[in-house]
Homo-oligomer: A and B are copies of this chain.
């Protein structure tokens, strides 16, 4: 039978409303800001909807994961072969994951491994012509999806969104350097 789509998936009546939290939020989660929760929920939902659309458009181009496309784009943009560890760092994955990702790309003929002249422990990963063809087809698809999705946002709102994103990311960089805080308990409704 394979993939089945259940009832709920068809429930969207064409109207998209902002995700809001209920009126009991402040009581249920003392010390938490309902407006912040709403911003977070809406941003995450939007990001995943956008990535889904990108993925849908990308599907026909090559059978690669998001990381696979990203690695190719990084290699194409670098204009020179990169070591496995540099790729791992750019993609924020472990060296082991990087190895398996490069394995996949090499198996498909999108990259080749070259010995590093100066340091024979290192491996240089070079994008092939076939890999460049994939990048040339993928990047326009991604940017077209962005254009289609965000041209609905008026220019006046764009700077505000960019600034808000930057503020929040700045805060997240700080938070990541701190210990995990213990939040107050949930007060069940």
Which A residues lie at the B interface, using CB under 8 A? 3-9, 12, 14, 16-18, 25, 29, 31-33, 35-53, 56-57, 60, 85-86, 88-90, 92, 94-95, 136-137, 139-141, 143-153, 155, 157-158, 160-173, 175-176, 180-181, 183-186, 188
Contact = CB atoms under 8 A, between A and B. Distances in A.
A6 B85 contact: yes
A17 B166 contact: yes
Given A29-B143, A32-B140, A161-B160, A150 B50 contact: no
A56 B89 CA distance: 18
- For the complex of A and B, list the 9 residue pairs with the smallest distance between their C-beta atoms, beginning with the closest: A47-B47, A40-B146, A8-B89, A36-B150, A144-B183, A32-B143, A140-B183, A6-B89, A42-B165
Contacts of A7: 89
A79 B97 CA distance: 40
A36 B151 contact: yes
A149 B42 contact: no
- Prevailing SS type, chain A contact patch: helix
Nearest to A20: B162
Contact of A50 (B5, B44, B146, B153): B44
A56 B176 contact: yes
A89 B56 CA distance: 18
A139 B184 CA distance: 10
A169 B16 contact: yes
B40 A150 contact: yes
